[in-house]
Amino acid sequence: MKDLPKWFTNDGGTVYKKGSEVTNPFTDAVAQLNGNELSMYDFIMGCQMVPMNKEIQTNFRKALDWFRVANPEAYMTLLD
């Protein structure tokens, strides 16, 4: 399991201990995520629900980059 970056935990990101199965709402494809991946996935999805200022946009990009490295298969299934 890839560690969450300091910017995520220092900025109060929610960290889940357990993972879960996640479904892509557009394709119905499913991916199994561990706790850290689920934490970052929820952050990414949350960023898309709020108006993006520069800080949110920067963290959103960092989150996508982290997820792409942590679980490339799930990234392609859920976010690409």
Residue 12 is predicted with a pLDDT of 83
The answer to whether residue 72 is domain-embedded is yes
Query: How many domains, in total, are found in the chain?
Result: 1
**Which one, of 36, 44, 33, lies nearest residue 73 by Cα?**
33
pLDDT tens column, 41-65:
999 999 999 999 999 999 999 999 9
The answer as to whether 1 is a domain residue is no
Residue 68: give the domain boundaries: 6-11+18-78
pTM of the predicted structure, to 2 decimals: 0.93
What's the N-to-C CA distance of the chain in angstroms?
A: 21
Contact 5, 73 (CB under 8 A): no
pLDDT in the model for residue 68:
98
